[in-house]
Amino acid sequence: MVWAPHVTVACVAECEGRFLLVEEEADGHLVYNQPAGHLEPGESLIEAVTRETREESGLSFAPTHLVGVYRWSPPESARIYLRFCFAGSTTAAEPDRPLDPEIRRVLWLTRSEVNTLLPHLRSPLVLHCIDDYLRGSRHSLELLCDVG
């Protein structure tokens, strides 16, 4: 059997104490998540997180740090996710850029507002990444190395 984890990226962007989240439809339910998604073939992790943030929020994202690398397996699935979460800054939206079809709206929420959404978060990684960011978890992007 070949083991193949699902590699994902996520963005933690903070502005004046509020965090960027998206409300999205997943498996027939509305859930909340950071702009996040899967690494695509031939793409670096930095390219993936900037692309996913742009596609899901319409914002440009400039990663400055790696917040953490997280392994998670949903209780109802045998899948294993490896999430690379990045902190950085966003810049102006492209007003005419369509968002991914599953995105319903873009939100800026405080940590306590995110906590009230706990039952509706896409995964426990959402709050975990925010909390690690608030605790000061910042790792150099130099940890990432694309070879080849």
Q: State the CATH number of the domain containing residue 81.
A: 3.90.79.10
**Apex 134 CA angle, 129 and 84, nearest 5:** 25
**Neighbour tally for 83: CB within 10 Å:** 23
Q: Is residue 1 part of a domain?
A: no
Q: Is residue 148 part of a domain?
A: no
> 15 lies in which domain range?
6-143
Per-residue model confidence (pLDDT) at position 95: 72
Distance CA 124, CA 65 (A): 21
Q: Is residue 33 part of a domain?
A: yes
Segments of the chain scoring below 50 in pLDDT: none
Distance CA 137, CA 129 (A): 9
> What is the domain count for the chain?
1
CA distances from 114 to 19, 80, 104, 110, 127 (A): 9, 24, 17, 6, 7
Per-residue model confidence (pLDDT) at position 142: 96
Per-residue model confidence (pLDDT) at position 1: 66
Per-residue model confidence (pLDDT) at position 56: 96
Q: Is residue 139 part of a domain?
A: yes
- The string over 34-73, giving b where at least 16 C-beta atoms fall within 10 Å of a residue's C-beta and e elsewhere, is bbbbebeeeeebbebbbbbbbebbbbebebebbbbebebe
pTM of this prediction?
Answer: 0.93
Residue pair 10/83 in contact by the 8 Å Cβ criterion: yes
